Amino acid sequence: MLPHLKPLPIKDRVSILFIEYGQIDVLDGAFVVIDKTGIRTQIPVGSIACLMLEPGTRVSHAAAALAAKVGTLLIWVGEGGVRLYASGQPGGARSDRLLYQAKLALDETARLNVVRKMYQLRFSEEAPAKRSVDQLRGIEGARVREMYKLIAKRYGITWKGRNYNVKDWDAGDIANKCVSAATACLYGITEAAVLAAGYSPAIGFVHTGKPLSFVYDIADLFKFETVVPLAFKVASQHPSEPERVVRKECRRIFVEKKILEKLIPTIQEVLDAGGFDIPKPPEDALPIAIQEREGVGDVGHRN
């Protein structure tokens, strides 16, 4: 009998791995990818934050179940890994954390405090006083557009703004392709961290109304110190396969910047700024019928 699986904390994992044109399955207890020639490649799935599954990939039920048990997020992406279609929860958010997150998002003052904290972390200065969330969003948008221009100029890139067509990907310029590929990598590991911390990717504070609103909120805190400069650097070199080069460079920079170690503490720091405590179970709540084993993973991982 195999021992009980214990998810590793996000900070101790490899960031991302891309898979294309292969069958993912569990054989002899191992998570493997089988290519069209029948060659098996074993993947240490429990030590990876998320697997990005490109077109041509098939996943067995056993593989999806094992990924969920060890807390590895499966993300279905488009060609080149630049469009995110769907994901499988690596354990799921916790009700107490969800209630806490929703309470912060629904309270006007708490939400503004969270947004102001995000502004401070992103720009290393206090947000302007007496501004609403919408006003801060507008200020942030203007600063972000200037940051894109400055970084593009640093690498000699002609930048006409963030613009791409998901229905005609090849029509986009190389800079936008590289930025899209890089941010997709960042969104993948950020979503894995959000879920591992027990929160919902959909309940955002700056971004709202999208399935990954909170993921975008948190990823934006790291974007311009990591993946955006990397994307423009790669674009300036005009490689034959820019998306592939970007993905490899993202894995490298995630390790160098220790992004996986920073994500969950940053999530908590941002939400703590709202001024509320995580709700305690109500007094009339029924006790847990089957106690969970104590795990070594993050709070949102199944144990």
Between CA 222 and CA 237 the distance in angstroms is: 23
Say yes or no: 65 and 99 in one domain.
no
Structural domain contains residue 244:
yes
Say yes or no: 26 and 41 in one domain.
yes
Length of the chain: 303
Q: Which of 31, 64, 88 corresponds to the end of one domain?
A: 88
Token code pair at residue 172: 């986009």
Token code pair at residue 141: 């948008």
Say yes or no: 218 and 133 in one domain.
yes
Say yes or no: 81 and 108 in one domain.
no
Domains identified in the chain, total number:
2
φ, ψ of residue 299 in degrees (nearest 5): -65, -25
Say yes or no: 81 and 99 in one domain.
no
Among candidate residues 270, 260, 275, 257, the one with its CA nearest the CA of residue 16: 260
Structural domain contains residue 302:
no
Structural domain contains residue 283:
no
Structural domain contains residue 137:
yes
Is 211 within 8 Å of 109 (Cβ atoms)? no
Structural domain contains residue 36:
yes
Question: How many CB atoms lie under 10 A from the CB of residue 82?
Answer: 25
Range of the domain at 133: 95-272
Instruction: Per-residue pLDDT tens, the chain, 303 aa: give them.
Output: 555 667 788 888 888 888 888 999 998 888 999 988 888 999 998 899 889 898 889 999 999 988 888 888 898 887 766 666 777 766 566 788 889 999 999 999 999 999 999 999 999 999 999 999 999 999 999 999 999 999 999 999 989 888 766 666 566 789 998 999 999 999 999 998 998 888 999 999 999 999 899 999 999 999 999 999 999 999 999 999 998 899 999 999 999 999 999 999 999 999 999 999 887 766 665 555 445 555 556 766 655
Among candidate residues 74, 18, 279, the one with its CA nearest the CA of residue 195: 74
